Amino acid sequence: MSWLDSLIATRANGDKRLAALLDPDDLPVGREWLKFIERLKQSPITDVFIGGSLLNRRNVKDVIQPLQQNFNGNIVLFPGAPDQVAPGADAVLFLSLISGRNPDFLIGRHVESAMRIRRMGMETIPTGYMLVGDGPLTTAAYMSQTTPIPSRKPEIVAATAVAGEMLGLRALFLDAGSGAGQSVPVSAIAAVREQTDCPLLVGGGIRDAAGVEAAWNAGADLVVIGQAIEERPQDLSWLPRLPKPQKENSSDTNPWRPA
């Protein structure tokens, strides 16, 4: 089963998923890095997303192999730039920043990376990426030179999501952005869920179990946690359990990983 098919099945079954967004520059190194992967493996995390707005110290490929060897869940690229696409992941989110009007993030970066991804034979998920929030300025908004959709305008968030779905995008990602003061409002999540059918991912500004559960309850199929995990890599016990228990599985497999 492909990663997208597994996410569609998650939605159809009423299940939920939880992803850790890992910025290679902000991860532990050496033995602590392997210990951190083991904590991820023992946590409720079903998926690991890899990527960052700007990488200076480590490359995506530096973290994929240890995850392949030691983590049982899905590994998905969430690239901030074409050079962050590396082989070995289960899938790559092919992001169109439909909340903005910067052509570089609507088609420009896609042209730069398309043939590279095609040669890798990696599953590619056309994803409508939407920044939602009122400030302070996040890294994603600054780097993309776009203005997020205001939090108090769920109708605009929903209309943008519907437009993306009509254009053929297969997944939607509502993101408050790294360093966001507030997470995506539940009103925006609910508005998108009511108007669209494709899998809905939500991240940015979520710092505790209550925030994860609120996003799930509003309609998110998969919630993404980044900075809160980076700030507390030694302790993942605060992460909430999945609303529905996973089927028992051997230690060498994970029910979420594509076959």
Answer yes or no: is 251 within a domain.
Answer: no
Residue 247 lies in a domain: no
- For residue 7, being part of any structural domain is answered with yes
What's the confidence (pLDDT) of residue 245? 45
**Of the ranges 54-63, 119-128, 181-190, which one carries the lowest mean pLDDT score?**
54-63
Question: Looking at residues 34-62, what average pLDDT do you find?
Answer: 92
Q: What does the pLDDT read at residue 68?
A: 95
pLDDT, residue 75, reads: 98
- How far lies 66's CA from each of 55, 85, 108, 215, in Å? 18, 16, 31, 30
Contact by Cβ (8 Å): 191, 157: yes
Q: Is residue 175 included in any domain, yes or no?
A: yes
CA distance 88 to 222: 22
- State the average pLDDT over residues 22-37: 94
Quickly list DSSP for 110-159.
HHHHHHHHHHHT-EEEEEEEEEB---SPPHHHHHHT-PPBPTT-HHHHHH
Average pLDDT over residues 11-23: 97
Residue 81 lies in a domain: yes
Mean pLDDT of 106-110: 96
**Mean pLDDT across the chain:** 92
Provide the CATH number for the domain around residue 62.
3.20.20.390
Q: What is the pLDDT of residue 102?
A: 97
Residue 248 lies in a domain: no
Residue 48 covered by a domain: yes
| pLDDT at 258 (0 to 100) | 44
| Number of structural domains found in the chain | 1
Q: Give CA–CA dist 177/164, Å, rounded.
A: 19
Summarize the confidence of residues 47-61 as an average pLDDT: 88
pLDDT classification of 255: cutoffs 50, 70, 90: very low
pTM over 0.85: yes
83: pLDDT strictly greater than 60: yes
Question: What's the pLDDT at 251?
Answer: 42
Average pLDDT over residues 140-154: 96
Residue 61 inside a domain? The answer is yes
**Mean pLDDT, residues 220-230:** 96
With bands split at pLDDT 50, 70 and 90, how would you rate the model's confidence at 244? Answer: low
For residue 160, the enclosing domain spans 3-231
Q: Supply angle C-alpha 122, 253, 95, rounded to 5.
A: 30
Cα(197)–Cα(56) distance, integer angstroms: 38
